[in-house]
Amino acid sequence: MNGFDERFLTRNGFAARQLAVLLLGHEPDTRLPRVRDFAEELGCGNGTVQAALQLLEEAGAIETTARGHLGTFLVRSDRTILWRLSGLGTLLAAMPLPYSRRYEGLATGLRSAFEQAGAPFAITFMRGAGARTTALLDGKVDLVVLSRLAADRLMEKHPVQLLADLGPATYVGAHGLLLREGAQLDAPGLRVAIDHASEDQRLLAERAFAGRSDIEWVESSYMQLRDLFASKQADATVWNLDEVQGRLGMAVDVLPLGDEVTRDLALRNSSAAIIGRKEGAQALAAVRDTLDLSVVTSLQSEVLRGERMPSY
């Protein structure tokens, strides 16, 4: 270990690491809090804060300038160095399996946006919004990507907060009612595929077929849907069209969803949302204000148009 690293293991160095976290929330050419305000927040003396600021300057993490009675201003900051010195580690996001180009574009955009904000970022892929949220609550991941529909329901039950809503068609393109070739929608005893691991699909399917007491529910995932239709074990379902168009390998009628409530649910289900824990998410708080979410939607659109190769 070189002498520079050893200095960050001293009392002043520990304060510098704490300051690095705080300074991640400051943009260049903005006035910094007073030294005594930093000292009060960190629970140390003014001299320790001044020494910590000097350490950060010597490390190339920041450059400051004093402007008389106006105070001290942050001239420049290197967010990559600040993040490394802060010890916040890598932000880990849980996303759905990247089986569609839309999800690949979403992952590509998220990775770029976080990297531009100076935060090391990684993605783990998990099926089911409930499973991803459990990982979040257990502290195994820092944020979760899911539909706005699922986010709204989970926020009612758990101490999680909405960090972003990326807007319609960022999570899925659309949902439709799928009817197996030869099946009749009004036939008694209609067998409807449902995936209880997917909060969105389950809710949409139940709402689309509400009022029918003759429905036979057939447990299914996307991977099983083709075989269930081909073997005539299922007749219909409501599903994400990104998953099924051109992939079922068989003739399927795609019908529009019915009532206004179902269409509203489908619209909220099409929007990608990002949620995080309400408490203890220091790394996420450090990057949140500098995260440019327009990068996410822009790069996702490029991937969808075939203008950019997915990279995540």
Same domain, 220 and 148: no
Question: What is residue 145's predicted lDDT score, i.e. its pLDDT?
Answer: 96
Same domain, 194 and 249: yes
DSSP structure string for 22-59:
HHTT--TTEEPPPHHHHHHHHTS-HHHHHHHHHHHHHT
Task: Determine, yes or no, domain membership for 277.
Answer: no
Question: What is residue 279's predicted lDDT score, i.e. its pLDDT?
Answer: 75
Question: What is residue 116's predicted lDDT score, i.e. its pLDDT?
Answer: 86
Same domain, 290 and 156: yes
Q: Specify which residues 240 forms β-bridges with.
A: 175
Same domain, 156 and 292: yes
Question: What is residue 3's predicted lDDT score, i.e. its pLDDT?
Answer: 42
What angle, 0 to 180 degrees and rounded to 10, lies between the N-to-C axes of helices 260-270 and 199-208?
A: 170
Question: What is residue 255's predicted lDDT score, i.e. its pLDDT?
Answer: 84
**CATH number for the domain harbouring residue 241:** 3.40.190.10
Same domain, 253 and 181: yes
The residues, any chain, with a CB within 8 Å of residue 39's CB and separated by 6 or more, are 45, 46, 48, 49
Residue linked to tokens 């079922």: 248
Same domain, 60 and 103: no
Task: Determine, yes or no, domain membership for 278.
Answer: no
Instruction: Count the Cβ atoms, other than its own, within 10 Å of residue 85.
Output: 22
Task: Determine, yes or no, domain membership for 275.
Answer: no
Question: What is residue 281's predicted lDDT score, i.e. its pLDDT?
Answer: 64
Residue linked to tokens 């989970």: 154
Number of separate domains in the chain: 3
Same domain, 120 and 57: no
Task: Determine, yes or no, domain membership for 248.
Answer: yes
Question: What is residue 84's predicted lDDT score, i.e. its pLDDT?
Answer: 86
Three-state SS at 216: strand
- Of 86, 102, 130, which residue sits at a domain end? 86
Domain that holds residue 56: 3-86
- What is the DSSP-derived secondary structure letter of residue 124? E
Question: What is residue 93's predicted lDDT score, i.e. its pLDDT?
Answer: 95
Same domain, 180 and 123: no
Question: What is residue 5's predicted lDDT score, i.e. its pLDDT?
Answer: 62
Task: Determine, yes or no, domain membership for 77.
Answer: yes
- Of 52, 86, 120, which residue sits at a domain end? 86
Question: What is residue 284's predicted lDDT score, i.e. its pLDDT?
Answer: 72
- Of 45, 64, 86, which residue sits at a domain end? 86
Same domain, 81 and 101: no
**CATH number for the domain harbouring residue 20:** 1.10.10.10
Task: Determine, yes or no, domain membership for 169.
Answer: no
Task: Determine, yes or no, domain membership for 279.
Answer: no
Q: In whole angstroms, what is the distance from residue 149 CA to residue 136 CA?
A: 18
| pTM score, whole prediction | 0.73
Same domain, 107 and 193: no
Same domain, 100 and 155: yes
Average pLDDT of each block of 10 consecutive residues along the chain (312 residues)? 61 89 86 92 92 92 90 90 86 90 95 88 91 93 93 92 91 86 91 88 87 92 84 90 66 77 74 87 72 93 95 90
Task: Determine, yes or no, domain membership for 309.
Answer: no
Are 148 and 268 within 8 A, CB to CB?
Answer: yes
Same domain, 109 and 131: yes
